[in-house]
Structure 1
Amino acid sequence: MQSRRSFIKASAVTAASLSINSPLPPTLSSAVAEKPNPTILLRSSWNDKNIGDIGHTPGTLRILERHLPQAKIILWHASPRPVTEELIRRNFPKVTIVQGEFAGQNTSAEVMKAFESADFYIHNSGMSMNYGLFNYDWGSVMSSLTPFLYCHEKGIPFGLYGHSFDKFAPPSDLLFRDVLSRAAFIYCRDSESVKHIKELGFKAPVMEFAPDGCFGIDVRDEEKGLAYLKANALEEQKFLVVVLRTNTPHLGSTGQGNLMNPAQTPEKKAEDQKRLDKVKALITHWVRTTGHKVLIAPEALKETVYGKTMLYDTLEDDIKSKTVFRETFWNADEAMSVYARAHTIFGMEPHSLIMGLATGVPIMHARPVAHGRKGWMFQDIGLPEWLFDIDEAPASALQSTLTTIVKEYPAAKQKVQKAMTFVAQRQKATMDQLGKILSKSS
């Protein structure tokens, strides 16, 4: 862990390079206004081992293509993302993908060329703009902030799309506030994050709620998805999907763990047991009241192991006979084709649920509150009754809500439609704002 003194020294050096007291750059350079087909550079795709980190990318790309069809889009992957890239090349043939670091002398030539051609730079949905939430690694913070500094110096407008903000350990708030206040917009995927950055004194001209980019996802792999459903006798609208998030490390991890993948302490194991007892009770309730099947699906690669040993293997035999456990990880398009046929999706992580909503399927989100503000997005889009604290909500409350969805299914589907109509309105508003910046009409 970095000492406070070394942190302050590093921050001072960075601040000096920024010319902290200089006026903010113009929102739009004159070169942008003259271009009929502007170039948008999107940084995205944080991980190939988590379906949410895959799903952000096709979702935001679709939003951009739908609302700004004249724009050229360059997708920047700081590290190779072969799973995501396969998906993007199949579904977005016009998008150019560049790879490499933005780090001084080690900066990739194709990444630098992409920045030189960019008329706007977007940092996509996630929670990377935090310090002290996952760790105190100043280098990882600067890997996110440095591109913004370059944009500031070159007069390239930039923004953050569908982000969550949870922690700026002192004195990092000073630097984050200065750098991000220079953004053309900061769109937060939950209203609690908007409130947080405003309380900290961030001063970007637009700081509003806008849904996670994953809400724009519409990719499908019908061949694989339908084959999987058939092989496992999962009938359309007759199975419940269950998505876990356990207190377990990444597969093969030897580190001390972090917020999302903690070290295996007795306390964390007990917390998992308490949570999974509620999930197990929900599965049992579903099977015994509806007679239908359950699919335990992975949002993260590691749950293809832990979900089996910690949940599936513990089910009673009659329940297990009605439960399918997905043992292999999948790409977002196959998952979308399966989720679209589900009755309801229950999850402890949000992105499989977002994919379900995008296909019109009701959801229930029982999240660990400690995982951050992102869970509040479901309340923000009008679904508060489907949002739970997994550690506080009794098992009976989860079962009761699922029973209501089953009994009032047409009403539940209408609720999804209403929420997604609101999502679409917010997406359009964000793209209208970006369009104004690109056309210099604001």
Structure 2
Amino acid sequence: MQTRRDFIIQTPSIIGLILGINACSFDDKAKKRILLRSSWQTVNIGDIGHTPGVLALLEKYLPDVEVRLWASDVGNGVREMLLNRFPGLEIFTREDEVSLERAYKECDFFLHGSGPYLVVANDVEDWAEKTGKPYGVFGITYNEVNMSPKVNALLTNAEFVLFRDSFSLGYAKEIGVNSKVMSFGPDGAFAADVKNDEAANAFLSSHGLEKGKFMCVIPKYRYTPYWLIPSKNRALDVERDAVNQANKEHDHLQLRKAIIALVEQTEMKVLIVPEDETQVAIGKEMLYDPLPENIKKNVVWRDKYWLTDEALSTYAQSAGIFGNEQHSPIMCIGMGIPAIVCRWEQQTSKGIMWRDIGLGDWLFDMDNEAEVAGIVPAVLAIAQNNEEAKAKALKAKMVVESYQKENLKLLESEIEKLP
């Protein structure tokens, strides 16, 4: 039988429990939630890199906001990689209708992740129509290739739109896109910080590559030959393949010359790496096989595709990177590693971001022979003056981080407006 004394002793605990429950309920109700729409595909470490980059920024600048990831594709080990870095992150795809419906109900803000354009315009439209809740766009490219009246309207009705290169920002303004806030917003992959040191160290050690004593190079055809990737199930694109075949020697000649110059004129070794699955074979065909035999002994061809975490752990130990891709250089600059970008007409305007962050002399237009001639000297300069090159990369990183800080303040202000 409970005595008056027992009741008095137990009352503080009961009150505390009640208050605790109420506080938890209040906190849970007060917590704001962002639905991040990202993770476009897994056959390209750059497309993978968008997501951990944006997640890292949200974690850093909005630590009290819950983030849920609505992904297009997190197969091939990507889900596990993300959860290793962000334990407890809720990840779901369109097939998970229960989680999607719950996210629509419980999340307060829809954030379209970084990408080559407004990748999921239909999802942005669906969110706006079904929920009436606000949305924003983080770090995209926009030009006449992917422009449409529908997308113009979606961008205009966004709380903010961040463009990852100044050309896209100017183009959007020129055609009448008029969001409340439109500004430069660096690609989300700059902030990617996933790592797999164990795998990277094992690979580097087995191939005699020492920290700071090798450079990475990435091959690429003008059009990604998705028809060569079984999971994409695409038919041969005859027109695009013809463009690739017509330009592949021109587009890789200077990279091979740079490899030879590095081996002959410096103590650097060279690691040929892929950014997407197709580039494993391209690296062998266009870079490794044509090299003189005496050069090959100091060159390593990576014969398997990898994930973003192992790539970042590898790049972090290199003296720098060069080649025909963009996102590995983006992630390198995010770590303060020197990075040269070669681009051409068939690529979007995203390469212009190199000028936007102060790296214009590390950007080369492969359709301009006067610029092409500067590739080998630029690569050699990074190898021969590596500390100076790293200082330059760190300066660009600081520029990126200043924009990231401002952009996340912008998102924070939108979250604070929410009821």
**TM-score (norm: length of structure 1):** 0.83
Verify the 8 A CA contact 2:42 2:74 in the aligned structure 1.
no
Moved more, 274-283 or 107-116: 107-116
AA of the residue aligned to 1:440: K
1:199-238 CA-partner distances (Å, limit 9, x unpaired):
1100101110010000111121111111111001011111
The corresponding residue for 1:255 is 235
CA deviation after TM superposition for structure 1 residue 326, in Å: 0.5
Moved more, 144-153 or 335-344: 144-153
The corresponding residue for 2:165 is 190
1:434 equivalent to 2:414? Answer: no
The ranges of structure 1 where at least 4 consecutive aligned residues each deviate by more than 4 angstroms after the TM superposition are none
1:96 equivalent to 2:82? Answer: no
Moved more, 314-323 or 389-398: 389-398
1:41-89 CA-partner distances (Å, limit 9, x unpaired):
1111111110101111111100000000001110011345343211111
* In 2: Cα distance, 1:168 partner to 1:361 partner: 32
1:244 equivalent to 2:233? Answer: no
Verify the 8 A CA contact 2:266 2:384 in the aligned structure 1.
no
Query: Which of these residues, 202, 205, 228, is aligned with residue 180 of structure 2?
Result: 205
The corresponding residue for 1:380 is 356
1:4-35 CA-partner distances (Å, limit 9, x unpaired):
xxxxxxxxxxxxxxxxxxxxxxxxxxxxxx96
Moved more, 38-47 or 143-152: 143-152
1:76 equivalent to 2:66? Answer: no
What does 1:21-420 align with in structure 2 at a 5 Å threshold? 36-100=30-94, 108-129=97-118, 143-167=120-144, 173-247=148-222, 249-250=225-226, 251=228, 252=230, 254-257=234-237, 263-265=240-242, 267-393=243-369, 395-420=372-397
* In 1: Cα distance, 2:355 partner to 2:122 partner: 30
- Segments of 5+ residues of structure 1 without an aligned counterpart are 1-33, 102-106, 130-140
1:376–1:88 distance in 2 versus 1, CA, 3 Å: same
CA deviation after TM superposition for structure 1 residue 403, in Å: 2.6
Verify the 8 A CA contact 1:366 1:390 in the aligned structure 2.
yes
CA deviation after TM superposition for structure 1 residue 161, in Å: 0.5
CA deviation after TM superposition for structure 1 residue 116, in Å: 1.4
**TM-score (norm: length of structure 2):** 0.87
Verify the 8 A CA contact 1:362 1:416 in the aligned structure 2.
yes
Verify the 8 A CA contact 1:152 1:182 in the aligned structure 2.
no
State, as a whole percentage, how many aligned pairs show the same letter.
35
Report how many aligned residue pairs link the two structures.
Answer: 387
1:359–1:47 distance in 2 versus 1, CA, 3 Å: same
Give the 3-state SS of the residue equivalent to 2:346 in structure 1.
Answer: helix
CA deviation after TM superposition for structure 1 residue 343, in Å: 0.8
Give the 3-state SS of the residue equivalent to 1:201 in structure 2.
Answer: coil
CA deviation after TM superposition for structure 1 residue 153, in Å: 4.6
Moved more, 159-168 or 332-341: 159-168
CA deviation after TM superposition for structure 1 residue 377, in Å: 1.1
* In 1: Cα distance, 2:41 partner to 2:138 partner: 17
* In 2: Cα distance, 1:369 partner to 1:240 partner: 26
| Greater Rg by CA | 2
Verify the 8 A CA contact 2:104 2:131 in the aligned structure 1.
no
CA deviation after TM superposition for structure 1 residue 401, in Å: 1.4
CA deviation after TM superposition for structure 1 residue 178, in Å: 1.5
Give the 3-state SS of the residue equivalent to 1:308 in structure 2.
Answer: helix
Give the 3-state SS of the residue equivalent to 2:190 in structure 1.
Answer: helix
CA deviation after TM superposition for structure 1 residue 152, in Å: 4.5
1:315-370 CA-partner distances (Å, limit 9, x unpaired):
11011111100111111111111100111100211111112112221111111232
Give the 3-state SS of the residue equivalent to 2:322 in structure 1.
Answer: strand
Give the 3-state SS of the residue equivalent to 2:333 in structure 1.
Answer: helix
* In 1: Cα distance, 2:117 partner to 2:50 partner: 13
1:229–1:193 distance in 2 versus 1, CA, 3 Å: same
* In 2: Cα distance, 1:393 partner to 1:62 partner: 39
Give the 3-state SS of the residue equivalent to 2:240 in structure 1.
Answer: coil
* In 2: Cα distance, 1:308 partner to 1:413 partner: 29
- Segments of 5+ residues of structure 2 without an aligned counterpart are 1-27
* In 2: Cα distance, 1:109 partner to 1:174 partner: 32
CA deviation after TM superposition for structure 1 residue 306, in Å: 2.1
1:102-144 CA-partner distances (Å, limit 9, x unpaired):
xxxxx82321211211111111111243xxxxxxxxxxx7x53
Moved more, 148-157 or 321-330: 148-157
Give the 3-state SS of the residue equivalent to 1:236 in structure 2.
Answer: coil
* In 2: Cα distance, 1:336 partner to 1:118 partner: 31
* In 1: Cα distance, 2:413 partner to 2:240 partner: 47
Verify the 8 A CA contact 1:76 1:99 in the aligned structure 2.
yes
Give the 3-state SS of the residue equivalent to 2:136 in structure 1.
Answer: strand
1:80–1:413 distance in 2 versus 1, CA, 3 Å: closer
Superposition RMSD in Å: 2.2
